[in-house]
Amino acid sequence: MKTLILNGSPRKNGDTISLIEKLTEQLNGEFKIIDTYYSDVSPCVDCRYCWDNDGCSLNDGFAEINDYIENCDNIVIASPIYFSQLTGKMLDVCSRFQTYFAAKYFRKQNIEIKAKKGAVILVGGGDGNAEDAYKTACTIMSHINVKEIYPLVGSFKTNELSAKEDNEAIMDIDNIAKFLNK
């Protein structure tokens, strides 16, 4: 089993990574974590290359992610919530999934991407709403053939309680692991 985890946090030892680490302790098979803030992946520049061609015109770290996406069993999007949304760097990397959208809607191709399970882990402590970020993550995953998505999981009081001390979030992470390992 292969799991791709997209980490949208800039903090290498923050709340988001603490929940990711809890998850990876329980995952079967191999996993790959892409730290979007430190990846060599540029955002989509809307050049429209993918409207007529397979792949993307930009030559960067996306090729490695793309290969993993096409063959993995699970996708996890984990991100802090900034203004009720996924982080900018997470959205930058995910904007490159435009190539899959273009294949389906512009090139009218059925790209062979393995069906997957997915999960969304969100972390926040402010006054925002996690639902918009969750909906965005689900939309992103739908374009990379994620067929089953676990209900929203998160730690939403991190300004008062760290995620690694949030027992409810930790129990939810345990349930995500069980869901992805099936």
| Cα–Cα distance for residue pair 102/108, rounded to 1 Å | 8
pTM for the complete prediction? 0.95
Close Cβ partners of 32 (under 8 Å, ≥ 6 residues apart): 2, 3, 4, 5, 68, 72
Domain that holds residue 78: 2-181
DSSP state of 152: P
Measure CA 56 to chain center. Answer: 19
- Each residue's pLDDT expressed in tens, for the chain with a length of 182 residues: 999 999 999 999 999 999 999 999 999 999 999 999 999 999 999 999 999 999 899 999 998 898 899 899 999 999 999 999 999 999 999 999 999 999 999 999 987 889 999 999 999 987 768 999 999 999 999 999 999 999 999 999 998 999 999 999 999 999 999 999 99
H/E stretch holding 90 reads helix 88-95
* Count: domains in the chain: 1
Residue type, 113: I
- 10 Å CB burial of residue 69 (0-12, 13-18, 19+) is buried
Here the CATH number for the domain that contains residue 143 is 3.40.50.360
Query: Is the separation of the CB atoms in 20 and 121 below 8 Å?
Result: yes
